[in-house]
Chains A and B, each alone.
Chain A
């Protein structure tokens, strides 16, 4: 079984995004970039499927600038077999990303696409669902457990108030939630090995996909700041302030 894992290069999870003074976006110059955390979980799940003997090949794919090849190298070091970079300097919207991924799926014919539920830059949580729709494949989002047997996948999903289990016919799209697994760190020997793995580069234009933006960003601003608060000395102090000053008890 072949697994395709889309990954995205984003601002590092621990870095606070700063808005540019001219309000055109978030300042990403000289900021640490990493693989989106949910994409890491997706890669890890694919690697575990391979270790269990369920998956035979893992193809990682990223859409982005030349530097996104570093993110793909990370996926290769974690255990992906080969990688595809769809190179573009454009910042694509989820619908466009889904269309590009659908084109890659058309070329690669994977049995399963595992991807993160959301990227921590755009926070859209939409691409996986859109990809499933475009491909007319079943979807199972926000997965916290995945079991593949034959041409079926049993997926436990995080829903409001608990867990839901679905069974989907493969090929299908699964999006990873936080508790699906804990991604491994790539070992040094594996990082070295990853440098020798195949990383193909395709120009976005060569795929012939309509990626025109549908949304125009008017401005990007900082959210209003909270006014500073006060420190209280004791729990009793706190309760009295909440009661009389804040009026919330």
Chain B
């Protein structure tokens, strides 16, 4: 069988969600191709060609593919599926946007956010905010799968696949791109960061969130996250949201500050290697998943933590 992986990228750089999805794909088959759909994305395709285990890279370019329009992605991928038995897409907001369209067009189920491949037809996926793991077998001839990248190791570089340019589909008639505002940040991206510092509702205001969480994150070279409660209250942008309905992260170190640990939040971070919780409520559920808990008011604990990090040479 042959498997197509759809690359995650921003037209300039290939994101490691792609290498992680290739790892999942290689568990299905040794014939893995990568599709790079974008605009001015030749460099991305060249990077994808270096991933070990990749047979071939397909490159399609147009304005709409560069803008990531779901209709265009579907129109590009569906005809390609005559040559593949499965298509795997990283479960990013972009992937989640277009992958179900491919499934609907092929009249197959989407197997969403898999965390394990049991065999070519059987997969494990989290449901109920990760409070349960469902093992499902698909009876569809073609599999449309999204992959939770954080649970798979990135496939290493070392390959030298060919890059083949393929035509882009026609412009969608009823969807029009207006604009895109991406936040420019010197910090690492949340979903791939080695360290994440997250703040919760205890911050009390957006100013406090910025004053407390961001300097600590910058000191550690960390990404900034937030609980849904903090996002709901407007203390942090939605893009920071870690949890069931936000991003799922699994960094080396996750520091939760003033976060009580609602089920929805734990769903997004409990696979982190080391979890630190700072909360003044000793009974907060976050302490049940924390490797290191500090029962303290963040107002005193964070400055002390900053000082201790400085003393430790950070």
Where the two chains meet, the residues of A that have a C-beta atom closer than 8 Å to any C-beta of B are 11, 13-14, 16-19, 26, 38, 93-95, 98, 117-118, 120-134, 137-142, 144, 154, 158-169, 172, 177-179, 182, 214-223, 226, 228-236, 238-243, 246, 248-249
Q: Which of A161, A216, A238 contacts B182 (CB 8 A)?
A: A161
Closest-CB distance, A26 to chain B (whole angstroms): 5
Contact across chains for B292 and A246 when beta carbons are under 8 A apart: yes
Count B-side interface residues using an 8 Å CB cutoff: 96
Known contacts A178-B228, A178-B241, A236-B311; A123 and B305 CB within 8 A of each other: no
- Which of B26-34, B47-55, B152-160, B272-280 lies at the interface? B272-280
Measured between beta carbons, the chain A residues less than 8 angstroms from B182 are 161-162
Q: Could you list which residues of chain B lie within 8 angstroms of chain A, going by C-beta atoms?
A: 10, 67-71, 74, 92-94, 96-101, 103-105, 107-113, 122, 126-140, 172-183, 189, 191, 195, 220, 228, 231-232, 238-239, 241, 244-246, 252-253, 262-264, 270, 273-276, 287-296, 301, 304-305, 307-309, 311-312, 314
Measured CB to CB, the nearest residue on chain B to A227 is: B291
Which of B126, B180, B290 is most buried by chain A, counting CB atoms within 10 A of its CB? B180
Which residue of chain B has the shortest Cβ distance to A165 in the bound complex? B178
Looking across the interface, which residue of chain A has its beta carbon closest to that of B314?
Answer: A249
Given known A223-B132, A229-B291, A246-B292, contact A159–B126 (CB-CB < 8 A):
no
B70 touches A139 (CB 8 A): yes
B105 touches A215 (CB 8 A): no
Other-chain residue from A98, A164, A166, A217 in contact with B104 (beta carbon distance below 8 A): A98
CA A131 to CA B3, docked complex, whole Å: 25
Which residues of A sit under 8 angstroms from B244, Cβ to Cβ? 120, 123
User: When the two chains form their complex, are residues A120 and B312 in contact, meaning their CB atoms are under 8 A apart?
Assistant: no
Q: How many A-B contacts are there with CB distance less than 8 Å?
A: 271
Check B109 against A214 for contact (C-beta < 8 Å): yes
Taking CB atoms, residues of chain A closer than 8 Å to B122 are 218
Grouping DSSP codes into helix (H, G, I), strand (E, B) and loop, the A interface class, with mixed when no group exceeds half, is: mixed
